[in-house]
């Protein structure tokens, strides 16, 4: 078993996609180990996306991620990291609507920035992101 961090971003919460997304998660066989709603401030959003701090879209990304609350969940199942990434689809929600129409980003995202959900990109990122939001929790 493996764990990943899943996040419903502000546009996903505002668009009332939380229940739909949680249904997809449970029907796909993930356990939801922990969950909570969080309002990020500039500092926390910048820290979460620190790897993008030099990019042209960074300020806009921080503004988007602080525009409303996010909903974070620790998901667990075998290959959770890659399974969740496969369910959410490509980063650019506009492209997802064409190439992966049944993906979560196709359902609730708008474009390259406003893509309604996040998923850790590796088990290492998952460990960092899970402790970022939940501190130390008992191992899988």
Would you name the residues annotated as active-site residues?
118
- Angle 20-26-29 from CA coordinates, rounded to 5°: 145
In the complex, the smallest distance separating the C-beta of residue 105 from ligand ATP, rounded to whole angstroms, is 9
116 torsion bin: left (phi>0), alpha (psi -120 to 50), beta (else): left
By beta-carbon proximity to ligand ATP, the closer residue of 18 and 91 is: 91
In the complex, the smallest distance separating the C-beta of residue 92 from ligand ATP, rounded to whole angstroms, is 8
Asked whether the beta carbons of 90 and 74 are under 8 A apart, the reply is: no
Is 3 annotated to bind a ligand? Reply is no
**What mask of x and - would describe binding to ligand ATP in positions 102 to 121, judged by CB under 6 A?**
----------xx-x--xx-x
Is 16 annotated to bind a ligand? Reply is no
In the complex, the smallest distance separating the C-beta of residue 1 from ligand ATP, rounded to whole angstroms, is 21
Is 57 annotated to bind a ligand? Reply is yes
Residues that bind ligand ATP (rule: CB under 6 A) add up to a total of: 10
Asked whether the beta carbons of 92 and 99 are under 8 A apart, the reply is: no
Contacting positions for ligand ATP (CB under 6 A): 52, 57, 61, 91, 112-113, 115, 118-119, 121
């Amino acid at each position: 078993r493996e764990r990943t961090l899943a996040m419903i971003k502000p546009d996903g919460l505002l668009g009332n996609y939380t229940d739909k997304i949680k249904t997809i998660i449970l029907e796909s066989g993930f356990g939801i180990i922990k969950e909570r709603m969080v309002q990020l401030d500039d500092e926390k959003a910048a820290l979460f996306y620190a790897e993008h701090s030099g990019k042209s879209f960074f300020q806009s990304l921080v503004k988007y991620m602080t525009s409303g609350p996010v909903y974070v969940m620790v998901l667990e199942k075998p290959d959770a990291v890659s399974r969740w990434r496969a369910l959410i689809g490509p980063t650019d929600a506009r492209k997802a609507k064409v190439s992966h129409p049944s993906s979560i980003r196709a359902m609730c995202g708008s474009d390259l920035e406003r893509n309604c959900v996040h998923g850790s990109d590796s088990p290492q990122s998952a460990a960092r992101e899970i402790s970022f939001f939940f501190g130390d929790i008992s191992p899988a």
